[in-house]
């Protein structure tokens, strides 16, 4: 396959110079011949870039060596040519009872093209997981669109197939489709489930809250967000709250108000009256955005984590450039008021060197809400002693006490 790609690239060089003069064509032929005859070490120059729709994927089981050893690969399973693994989840099927083994479900797209997103065939591969880390293929289930997201839900599988949300159960020869919802606007890229609720993320229309009604066997959207967001990842905080990040570097937390009920009905005929079609052409109920913060980089991962033994839980995020950040919850009103006033003083006393207003940066897309910038507060220790003393005096503290307060909140959660 690599040799075919090199031949194709050499032919493209010749075709690009076909409309030029004889000298240009001769130079292109020499470059193409040199490209074909030259063998470059892949560990230095990497492999030739694959063409559109050409993929290679493999499933790797890794022992991370948490007990003190080195990470090691336990099992590798390459997929067929041009099959791209795009989603996966672990699940223990309710149909197998308490003694059922864990299965791995992998969403696979064949001949996938990223822009515009398309694939010739999608499938869901089910593997049995053994204690030694080995995987055994159980069966493959074809699907008609891109399987962008998978999640376990009460012993069943919830899958995002294109813009369709589907509920699957295990079968002997393939997965059995139980029900589906076709009301997600564009493309499902993330699914999180807790108890009877499912949080479904659309690629550009934020998060939808879905309830599975067991008696009617229906997946019904009962609430959504008021703002469009190009979601990259989500993390459930509690039964009513979910943290989400988008492609433009924002982190937000949406919380369902106490007045929201998930016991709603859906008109199966689709003949709703105009005044019954919900708010803003969406769900009839809306979640409240309680947190907004602009990080400045595309956030690729969100996780709840405890970073130190015995420490409190925090929300950890990672960005596309490799940086890590932590969002810490305040446990007392006193701490919140202290850092809020410290941030206010730091905005006025230590403005950015490029002259940009700090508040407008953190509110680039949405007004910053209920988040205090710890990076800005940490710059207190780098100020001149006179400024430190002035700020600490306004806070009715000494500079040493302010520094101690900053250190305490770090050691309580992270480092």
> What are the two backbone dihedrals, phi and then psi, of residue 11, each rounded to the nearest 5 degrees?
-65, -35
| Confidence at residue 407, expressed as pLDDT on a 0 to 100 scale | 92
Q: DSSP per residue over 210-272, as a string?
A: EEEETTTTEEEEEEE-SS---EEEEEE-SSSEEEEEETTSEEEEEE--TT--S-----TT---
Residue with tokens 């074909």: 36
Distance in angstroms (rounded) separating the CA atoms of residues 374 and 410: 10
CA 282 – CA 221 distance, rounded (Å)? 9
Structure tokens at 79: 């997929």
> What predicted TM-score, i.e. pTM, was given to this entire model?
0.82
Express each pLDDT in 299-346 by its tens digit. 999 999 998 888 788 999 999 999 999 999 998 899 999 999 999 999
Q: In this predicted model, which residue has the larger pLDDT, 26 or 386?
A: 386
Structure tokens at 288: 């409240």
Query: Strand, coil or helix: what is 386?
Result: helix
Confidence of residue 273 (pLDDT cuts 50, 70, 90): very low
Per-residue pLDDT, 179: 94
Q: What is the average per-residue pLDDT within 355-373?
A: 91
The stretches of 38-162 forming alpha helices (DSSP H) are 42-45
- Region 226-254: mean pLDDT is 95
**Residue 395 pLDDT > 70:** yes
Taking a C-beta distance cutoff of 8 angstroms, is the pair 231, 186 a contact?
no
Element (H, E) at 338: helix 333-349
Q: What does residue 283 show for φ and ψ, rounded to 5 degrees? A: -70, 160
Taking the chain, what is the end-to-end CA distance rounded to the nearest angstrom?
Answer: 48
What pLDDT score does 44 carry? 61
Percentage of the chain exceeding pLDDT 90? 61
Using only C-alpha atoms, what is the Rg of the chain? Answer: 27
Please give the pLDDT value at position 199.
96
Tell me how crowded residue 415 is: count the other CB atoms within 10 A of its CB: 8
Centre a 10 Å sphere on the Cβ of residue 155 and count the other Cβ atoms it contains.
15
Tens digits of residue pLDDT in 104-133: 999 999 999 988 888 999 999 999 999 888
- Of residues 415 and 255, the one with the higher pLDDT is 255
What pLDDT is recorded for position 171? 92
38 Cβ partners below 8 Å, 6+ apart? none
Facing residues of 169 across strands? 176
Q: How many whole angstroms separate alpha carbon 189 and alpha carbon 150?
A: 9
pLDDT band at 276 (very low <50, low <70, confident <90, very high): very low
**Residue length of the chain:** 415
For every residue of 137-162, DSSP letters joined together read EEEEEEESS-EEEEEEETTEEEEEET
SS3 180: strand
pLDDT at 211 (0 to 100): 92
pLDDT band at 69 (very low <50, low <70, confident <90, very high): confident
Phi, psi of 340 (to 5 degrees): -65, -45
| Mean pLDDT score across all residues of the chain | 88
What is the per-residue pLDDT for 270? 44
pLDDT of 294 over the 50 cut? yes
> pLDDT tens digit string along 138-195?
999 999 999 999 999 999 999 999 999 999 999 999 999 999 999 999 999 999 999 8
| C-alpha to C-alpha distance for 336 and 404, rounded to whole angstroms | 15
How confident is the model at residue 349, as a pLDDT? 85
**Burial (CB count <10 Å: 0-12, 13-18, 19+), residue 80:** exposed
When mean pLDDT is compared across 52-56, 139-143, 298-302, 371-375, the lowest value belongs to: 52-56
């Amino acid at each position: 396959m690599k040799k075919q790609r090199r031949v194709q690239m050499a032919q493209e060089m010749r075709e690009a110079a076909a409309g030029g003069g004889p000298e240009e064509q001769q130079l292109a032929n020499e470059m193409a011949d040199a490209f074909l005859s030259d063998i470059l070490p892949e560990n230095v120059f990497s492999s030739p870039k694959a063409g559109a729709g050409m993929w290679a994927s493999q499933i790797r089981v890794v022992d991370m060596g948490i007990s003190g050893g080195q990470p090691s690969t336990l099992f590798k399973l390459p997929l067929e040519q041009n099959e791209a693994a795009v989603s996966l989840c672990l699940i223990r099927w309710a149909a197998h009872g308490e003694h059922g083994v864990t299965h791995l479900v992998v969403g696979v797209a064949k001949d996938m093209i990223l822009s515009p997103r398309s694939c010739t065939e999608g499938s869901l591969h089910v593997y049995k997981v053994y204690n030694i880390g080995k995987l055994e293929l159980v069966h493959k289930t074809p699907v008609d669109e891109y399987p962008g997201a998978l999640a376990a839900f009460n012993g069943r599988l919830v899958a995002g197939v294109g813009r369709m949300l589907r509920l699957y159960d295990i079968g002997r020869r393939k997965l059995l489709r139980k029900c589906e919802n076709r009301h997600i606007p564009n493309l499902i890229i993330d699914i999180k489930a807790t108890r009877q609720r499912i949080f479904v993320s659309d690629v550009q229309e934020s998060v939808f809250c879905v309830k599975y009604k067991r008696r009617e066997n229906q997946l019904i959207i009962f609430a959504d967000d008021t703002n469009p967001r190009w979601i990259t990842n989500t993390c459930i905080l509690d039964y009513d709250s979910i943290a989400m990040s988008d492609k433009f570097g924002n982190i937000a937390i949406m919380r369902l108000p106490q007045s929201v009920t998930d016991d709603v009905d859906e008109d199966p005929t689709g003949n709703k009256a105009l005044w019954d079609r919900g708010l803003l052409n969406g769900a009839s109920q809306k979640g409240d955005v309680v947190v907004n913060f602009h990080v400045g980089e595309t956030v690729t991962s969100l996780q709840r984590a405890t970073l130190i033994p015995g420490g409190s839980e925090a929300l950890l995020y990672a960005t596309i450039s490799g940086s890590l950040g932590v969002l810490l919850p305040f446990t007392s009103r006193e701490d919140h008021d202290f850092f809020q006033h410290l941030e206010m003083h730091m905005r006025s006393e230590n403005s950015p060197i490029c002259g940009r207003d700090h508040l407008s940066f953190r509110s680039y897309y949405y007004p910053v809400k209920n988040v205090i910038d710890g990076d800005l507060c940490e710059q207190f220790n780098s100020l001149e002693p006179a400024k430190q003393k002035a700020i600490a005096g306004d806070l009715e503290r000494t500079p040493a006490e302010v520094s101690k307060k900053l250190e305490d909140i770090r050691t309580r959660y992270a480092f």
